[in-house]
Amino acid sequence: MIIYKVENYEEMSKKAASIIASQIIMKPDCVLGLATGSSPVGTYKRLIDLYKEGYVDFSRVTSINLDEYKGLEPTNDQSYRYFMNTNLFNHVNIKKESTFVPDGLELDSDKACREYEEMIESYGGTDLQLLGIGRNGHIGFNEPGPVFVRDTHCEDLTQSTIDANKRFFAKDEDVPHQAYSMGIGSIMKAKKILLIAYGKDKAEAIAKTINGPITPKVPASILQLHNDVTIVADKEALSMI
């Protein structure tokens, strides 16, 4: 596990973008596992800049997103498809047909998850998987629980996750309580994992991820078993290390 300690969010974003850009340059037809939320927004902005400056070409890249809220249509401004289009896809030359996000409108959970997992397997997993981390240690929407869930699945979101997401929605009752998410096994298939984190509210989760026991009560702790993990975090997120 490689850990980069940076001063602030901007430095975290630049470092993470440089790692992703290097992956694309080394393998132009790579498969990127992408994440949503506030953590990667700056990383995506920097990748857009690198594209506009001529350093990165997305034309042969395939992207596979970690998760999507169940019940939200792609045009909903809180859906993760909308997020990805707005924050990255619409601004680079990636082919939209090569970008994959779980189908939030498929109400048959078994069907939605089975088809998404089959798609991931058809690509052999991702070359690089970008992750954020929740305050409770979740990665993707793999919430703390009694066991690690291996494959893509429908996750019942914890109250802490629902509360953290309320700021993005007009009304509390609009916040989804379920999401389709890559499983821990799906994430661990990645050849390389890049986890980004910033702020004091992530410090405990990061400490448990790096130094704590491997337990499904802290889903990110499973990353200790992966042979190529890079963490880029600011000094506040690393303050308990």
Domains of the chain: 2-234 (3.40.50.1360)
67 beta partners: 181
168 against 126, higher pLDDT = 126
pLDDT in tens, 175-194: 889 999 999 999 999 999 99
Q: Can you state the percent helix, strand and coil of the chain, rounding each to 5?
A: 40, 20, 40
3-state secondary structure of 126: coil
Q: What is the pLDDT of residue 163?
A: 85
| Active site (annotated) includes residue 143 | yes
Over residues 76-83, mean pLDDT: 94
Per DSSP, the three-state class of 67 is strand
Among candidate residues 65, 103, 127, 138, the one labeled active-site is 138
Please tell me the distance from the alpha carbon of residue 46 to that of residue 102, in angstroms, as a whole number: 25
Overall average pLDDT of the 63-81 stretch? 94
Q: Using CA atoms, how far apart are residues 94 and 61, in angstroms rounded to an integer? A: 6
3-state secondary structure of 32: strand
Half-sphere exposure of 151 (CA within 13 A, CB side): 13
Per-residue pLDDT tens over the stretch 121-160: 999 999 999 999 999 999 998 999 999 999 999 998 888 8
Residue 236 catalytic?
A: no
3-state SS, residue 223:
helix
d(CA 93, CA 51): 8
Please tell me the total number of residues recorded for the chain in this structure.
Answer: 241
Catalytic residue among 67, 127, 155, 234: 67
DSSP summary character for residue 193: E
The model's pTM is 0.94
Contact between residue 109 and residue 180 where contact means Cβ atoms under 8 Å apart: yes
Q: Which residues make Cβ contacts (< 8 Å) with residue 112, sequence separation at least 6?
A: 102, 103, 106, 154, 180
Active-site option among 68, 103, 127, 143: 143
Q: Which of 65, 87, 136, 165 is catalytic?
A: 136
| Active-site residue flag, 136 | yes
User: What confidence tier does 171 reach under pLDDT thresholds 50, 70, 90?
Assistant: confident
Q: What is the mean pLDDT of the chain?
A: 95
Phi then psi for residue 124, to 5 deg, are: 75, 25
| Arithmetic mean of pLDDT, 97-117 | 96
